[in-house]
Structure 1
């Protein structure tokens, strides 16, 4: 590209509409890991033709969302080895399939490939399309976690390997059924990951060297829920929800602060724990909801309410599978595995509304997925069918304000096509991917 064209493209990108305060999206769920997009000057209604697409870039299959930081977009994918083939007829087939994983770095403004890093990664997991975990970006480094436990720290400038770990080999653990999927958490100089095994469900690595700083907790299965840090009772608490319990650790040392037994059927602890004041909430497909109240005086917690009736068909509260709920103003909003969009009271779990038309058109789905991100007084909802919705959520119910088709659903699942990756919202734009491409679209007014 000629220098003049590059400068012109940069100028067009950075001349932002009045009132827009731009920010990056350097990890899953955004800068604060809370699913809130704090930029202003964002579109209130989509144009009839949809938002303007800035660029499209081909990618290989993967479930990982993009991260956007420092003028670059980072995403991971996987390519099958020559002659290799996935068993699309049986997603639970764990036969080993050779291939390579890739970390791809794109220019945020143009979509041009800046660099890529490939490494061998033979998959022996269920649903083996590609990586699950969204990259984390900070201080000139990008951290990525592959489906089979390949953990990398690369330079953002050129993709040089700064350090790497192989979780299975280094900790003597097996790959979970659906792979290593919990999005890593960066906290100061610590990169915190779910690993598994005895004494190493949660492991903190030094972000500069990969050295183990501490390890904690034991469980037969680590689950898939992203770790998150909350603040309560004057303490920062690292919340780890694995397949047997909801736990709080001291993020500096890994010391256990409290634990509440919560066995999860098939180890599907997937959604991230969400805090609302002195409440902490988790939701799973088979076991439903668990709400705990955090102690006021010192780190501790007790069960406030939980789903007692274990049924994935006749559900009482919220049985989310892959969609992390959103909590605000005393209420919980989320999507059940079969596609029911629900609102609950946070203090009791009582259902205040259910909508089966907005997402599923009245059909009962399996692994229904829609990702919620708040912006101002409304929400953006990325639908698994490739639609992007602007909506309001309240105790009165959901209100759809605008809808557009953002990208095509390209992964075939149980008779329907889906796109399950969580998008990134950064600098007035949305960055979304399916199994074939990543798209950047302008959401500025």
Structure 2
């Protein structure tokens, strides 16, 4: 049974917000990893350092458990969470981005099967042209009116596509590709990747027989064409986003269980992917045709004795001739792109612990890092080492399933309107980063 509570939102109010605050689409964070899904933030008027050791919030709003990072668009902030009792439900929540006032919530029954870290939903809500696309941990995909929370269409992907849940359930953030919404779901038959009409929910195409991965697809330009790139549990695949036809592939089958969480990263005609158990791979894209070839693939003896990068949660940064990312136990590493050789390693931004993580967001010549201790760090990346500029506490680590290390903040941040939006298992928090 579906339950929904909403408050009316008017176009006139949104126009007033835009005129008052000077908001532009470039200042929003409408999907996983930002406006272009590449972890880049380019707002003006942002402070270069913090005023103290603790960043003071503009507002806090109570929420429940989950790993879903916030998204921000049209003056509203969105997040998902889970209520475990008295009935198991997942919720899509919408707040006023300026005040933290709850505008609406969409709640649906969702009994969790047995899977690891059943804290709540994983995937960020995607906002596009007045619609919100939200996928829960059990594969419930909802399209909602972004202003009111009214249901537009829905799918129970696990049931409809005979999905065998992976170890940590479903985590793909919906991708908008033209008039389609695309997801990596590992369905059957031939439905590892599925595209739906974004307005009606009608299936438009399905592709591949691969097992599910946690990674989300991206769009790139290659040889004058738009290509949908997705990392499944078996390969890195380039597809025609309109038809799902396979254009090229690079095998990336796991030696152990498939744990591919980070997105593919595009840099100077190359794609880089990484996996917790299976190391890293660099693929070169042909510039004159739709083709790709593996430049190198490196994998250590195990997730403890690693080579190159064995990324767990965070998506690495490629800059210049180097790769920067977090290895399996929180080791912050710099690699040479050409070979995958390690240049340096540091424990400066994350504790040494299994799956220790931090999220990178590039802003011009600096990188903003939100680590699992709830700290926000500003710094510069270089092959000579990491230069920390400033650091401040922002959010309490609360995830009880990792209480033995004081909780963690694993949800990615959102940067919009000169602010940062972050969440834990208690609250959604907004703080100003403006000068």
Match of residue 257 from structure 2: 266
SS at 2:257 equivalent: helix
- Aligned ranges 1:101-250 → 2 under 5 Å: 101-124=90-113, 125-196=115-186, 197-219=188-210, 221-250=211-240
> What is the CA-CA distance between 1:105 and the residue it aligns to?
0.5
Match of residue 9 from structure 2: none
Match of residue 88 from structure 1: none
- Aligned ranges 1:34-53 → 2 under 5 Å: 34-48=38-52, 50-53=54-57
Match of residue 90 from structure 1: none
Q: CA distance change for structure 1 residues 57 and 214 in 2, over 3 Å: closer, same or farther?
A: same
**Residue 284 in 1 paired to residue 275 in 2?**
yes
SS at 2:386 equivalent: strand
Q: Cα deviation per residue 1:352-397 (whole Å; 9 max; x = unaligned)? A: 111123322xxx3011110000112111100101111111111111
> What is the CA-CA distance between 1:81 and the residue it aligns to?
2.4
Preserved contact between residue 281 and residue 298 of structure 2 (Cα < 8 Å): yes
Equivalent of 1:376, from 364, 369, 388? 364
CA distance in 1, matches of 2:410, 2:60: 18
Match of residue 10 from structure 2: none
> What is the CA-CA distance between 1:64 and the residue it aligns to?
0.4
Preserved contact between residue 53 and residue 391 of structure 2 (Cα < 8 Å): no
SS at 2:263 equivalent: coil
The RMSD of aligned alpha carbons is 2.1
Q: Cα deviation per residue 1:403-437 (whole Å; 9 max; x = unaligned)? A: 11101000131621101000100010000000110
- Out of 265-274 and 301-310, give the one that drifted further: 301-310
Q: CA distance change for structure 1 residues 298 and 384 in 2, over 3 Å: closer, same or farther?
A: same
**Residue 386 in 1 paired to residue 374 in 2?**
yes
CA distance in 2, matches of 1:358, 1:23: 27
TM-score (norm 2): 0.92
Q: Cα deviation per residue 1:129-149 (whole Å; 9 max; x = unaligned)? A: 100000000111100000000
Q: CA distance change for structure 1 residues 47 and 22 in 2, over 3 Å: closer, same or farther?
A: farther
CA distance in 2, matches of 1:71, 1:12: 8
Preserved contact between residue 225 and residue 242 of structure 1 (Cα < 8 Å): yes
**Residue 80 in 1 paired to residue 70 in 2?**
no
Match of residue 326 from structure 2: 335
Preserved contact between residue 286 and residue 310 of structure 1 (Cα < 8 Å): no
Preserved contact between residue 185 and residue 213 of structure 2 (Cα < 8 Å): no
Q: CA distance change for structure 1 residues 378 and 338 in 2, over 3 Å: closer, same or farther?
A: same
**Residue 415 in 1 paired to residue 419 in 2?**
no
> What is the CA-CA distance between 1:13 and the residue it aligns to?
10
Q: CA distance change for structure 1 residues 312 and 49 in 2, over 3 Å: closer, same or farther?
A: closer
CA distance in 2, matches of 1:443, 1:22: 16
**Residue 70 in 1 paired to residue 74 in 2?**
yes
Match of residue 61 from structure 1: 65
Q: CA distance change for structure 1 residues 371 and 14 in 2, over 3 Å: closer, same or farther?
A: farther
TM-score (norm 1): 0.90
Preserved contact between residue 304 and residue 328 of structure 2 (Cα < 8 Å): no
Match of residue 23 from structure 1: 27
CA distance in 2, matches of 1:65, 1:356: 24
> What is the CA-CA distance between 1:188 and the residue it aligns to?
1.3
Shift >6 Å, 4+ stretches:
10-13
Preserved contact between residue 151 and residue 167 of structure 1 (Cα < 8 Å): yes
Preserved contact between residue 345 and residue 351 of structure 1 (Cα < 8 Å): yes
Preserved contact between residue 349 and residue 371 of structure 2 (Cα < 8 Å): no
Q: CA distance change for structure 1 residues 13 and 386 in 2, over 3 Å: closer, same or farther?
A: farther
CA distance in 2, matches of 1:11, 1:241: 39
Q: CA distance change for structure 1 residues 14 and 406 in 2, over 3 Å: closer, same or farther?
A: farther
Q: CA distance change for structure 1 residues 293 and 61 in 2, over 3 Å: closer, same or farther?
A: same
SS at 2:98 equivalent: coil
> What is the CA-CA distance between 1:281 and the residue it aligns to?
0.6
